[in-house]
Structure 1
């Protein structure tokens, strides 16, 4: 093994076991997020897809763009993309889907989670024989799959301030489950802050204010998983309004994903 890589692994293990727990206790975030001894790069036309279609990426610093590039390339290599009903999966599809997951998990050290291993893509809304309804997308833990209607995935980026983003919503479900089931440092922070959010929003006066505001669509109150997914959609789509209307909740969401 390359001596530099070996030293990097040793450093990571040492930091994780000896130093980081203390740091997390005092600061509520991982000691470090990005550390890539040999970062992967995207091809010029792949970078053009990101710069042309992904405003979040365009606003990153050059250093963070390199981190983002590495994560997108690694994500695409680690997950299977499966076409359905005759759709052809293009590089653009892979880049935009991967970038959505990376945006959501950019503050987490572990972004390659095991709660899903495949991404299934339909051209448009698809019919489920499991529950006899039409779907635009879903996270299926049993199948370890995230499923998208490509038409509806793209609609989530047509307007970036309507608080409706299918890609963010379904990946939020996946990272939520990872946060509750796993023991890496980012998952532990997610789980602990998630408990704080649920406790905070369960207060009668807070819940009344949330519902009365009409800021979060009524679907958010279906259950705690939908609530967190909708919170994260709003966090990325209209962060300024979110922070003004519910500053304490906004900061908790921010801490939860270490944004």
Structure 2
């Protein structure tokens, strides 16, 4: 057997090994992430800051934690003039999981990095950007670079979004909702990935009616939703996950369609515990806790203030 033949065989085997590792990289990443115990400190932060998580059954809390681990194993979080501490890491991952919790195994295939900045910033917008402005500044954006995307989030806005679980504002959920919207190939306000084809037309009709009401000033949905169809979808996701009962009361058709689009319908039973996809469950859990709170108890939002000085008035 010639030396050249042996060398050629060795090179071929090396190339095959590299190719095999490339093909199995995602499986190995997932196995490694799920083999790592979920940090106890993270679980405490979730219980203190993420009401959606706190309202889940134990089995679904585990599934939520695993989804967070998979997200963080795939997505790099980079601090820009700020530290990516445990709270930032937990809240970013939770914001990524909440809109897609009804889709076990969901990943954001084109998102590889989230840039965390200290606070709001000003940025010249381009046609390929989806942004969330506030008084001329930005709190979050999804931007494309070649075939990939990266997200930029204000840490201050991210934390604030989880501080009040019922104010209908969560910039993290908002930005990840844009990526859910894009699952059918474009950010256009139509959730083609989750909504059955037969309901696409009813969704478009309801969306246009709601947009008209918002633009006329006759809606309780945040006026920013009237910017365009893409922002409408992201804003009503915030409303859906923070005030589901109020959305159902004021916009029953929109609530029903969005519940089906996000696989969060009360009648659906994905996962281990039937009924866990009722989006109102966490709210009931939160309010049950509030009933046993005294005026001088620590506020459950995690602010460190007494309940009477923080969320007592809004809970009344």
**Do the aligned partners of residues 40 and 111 (structure 1) sit closer, same or farther apart at CA in structure 2, a change above 3 Å counting?**
farther
**Do the aligned partners of residues 46 and 222 (structure 1) sit closer, same or farther apart at CA in structure 2, a change above 3 Å counting?**
same
Where does residue 139 of structure 1 map in the other structure?
Answer: 142
**Do the aligned partners of residues 130 and 219 (structure 1) sit closer, same or farther apart at CA in structure 2, a change above 3 Å counting?**
closer
Structure 1 runs of 4+ with >6 Å offset: none
Which of 36, 53, 56 is the matching residue for 1:57?
53
After superposition, the C-alpha distances for 1:21-56 in whole angstroms (9 at most, x for unaligned) are: xxxxxxxxxxxxxxxxx6764121111111111111
Where does residue 150 of structure 1 map in the other structure?
Answer: 155
Where does residue 254 of structure 1 map in the other structure?
Answer: 259
Q: Give the C-alpha shift of residue 180 in structure 1.
A: 3.8
1:161 aligns with 2:166: yes
Which of 175, 198, 207 is the matching residue for 2:204?
198
Where does residue 69 of structure 1 map in the other structure?
Answer: 65
Query: Quick check: 1:40–1:69 contact (8 Å CA) kept in 2?
Result: no
What is the rounded CA distance, in whole Å, between the counterparts of 1:80 and 1:170 in structure 2? 16
Q: Give the C-alpha shift of residue 82 in structure 1.
A: 1.1
**Do the aligned partners of residues 194 and 40 (structure 1) sit closer, same or farther apart at CA in structure 2, a change above 3 Å counting?**
farther
**Do the aligned partners of residues 147 and 60 (structure 1) sit closer, same or farther apart at CA in structure 2, a change above 3 Å counting?**
same
Which of 165, 171, 185 is the matching residue for 2:176?
171
What is the rounded CA distance, in whole Å, between the counterparts of 1:41 and 1:135 in structure 2? 36
| Cα RMSD after superposing both structures | 2.5
- 5+ residue gaps, structure 2, are 1-33, 127-135, 265-316
Please identify the structure whose Cα radius of gyration is greater.
2
**Do the aligned partners of residues 44 and 188 (structure 1) sit closer, same or farther apart at CA in structure 2, a change above 3 Å counting?**
same
**Do the aligned partners of residues 135 and 194 (structure 1) sit closer, same or farther apart at CA in structure 2, a change above 3 Å counting?**
farther
**Do the aligned partners of residues 130 and 227 (structure 1) sit closer, same or farther apart at CA in structure 2, a change above 3 Å counting?**
closer
Query: Quick check: 1:194–1:256 contact (8 Å CA) kept in 2?
Result: no
- 5+ residue gaps, structure 1, are 1-37
Which of 92, 95, 104 is the matching residue for 2:87?
92
What is the rounded CA distance, in whole Å, between the counterparts of 1:228 and 1:117 in structure 2? 23
Query: Quick check: 2:68–2:93 contact (8 Å CA) kept in 1?
Result: yes
1:123 aligns with 2:118: yes
SS of equivalent to 1:117: strand
What is the rounded CA distance, in whole Å, between the counterparts of 2:144 and 2:183 in structure 1? 10
Query: Quick check: 1:39–1:70 contact (8 Å CA) kept in 2?
Result: no
What is the rounded CA distance, in whole Å, between the counterparts of 1:198 and 1:56 in structure 2? 28
Q: TM-score, normalised by structure 2?
A: 0.62
- Pairwise mapping of residues 42-53 of structure 1 onto structure 2 (< 5 A)? 42-53=38-49
**Do the aligned partners of residues 249 and 40 (structure 1) sit closer, same or farther apart at CA in structure 2, a change above 3 Å counting?**
farther
SS of equivalent to 1:144: strand
Where does residue 226 of structure 2 map in the other structure?
Answer: 221
Q: Give the C-alpha shift of residue 58 in structure 1.
A: 1.1
After superposition, the C-alpha distances for 1:84-143 in whole angstroms (9 at most, x for unaligned) are: 1x2111122111110111111100134211232110000111232556x63211111346
SS of equivalent to 1:135: strand
Query: Quick check: 1:219–1:226 contact (8 Å CA) kept in 2?
Result: yes
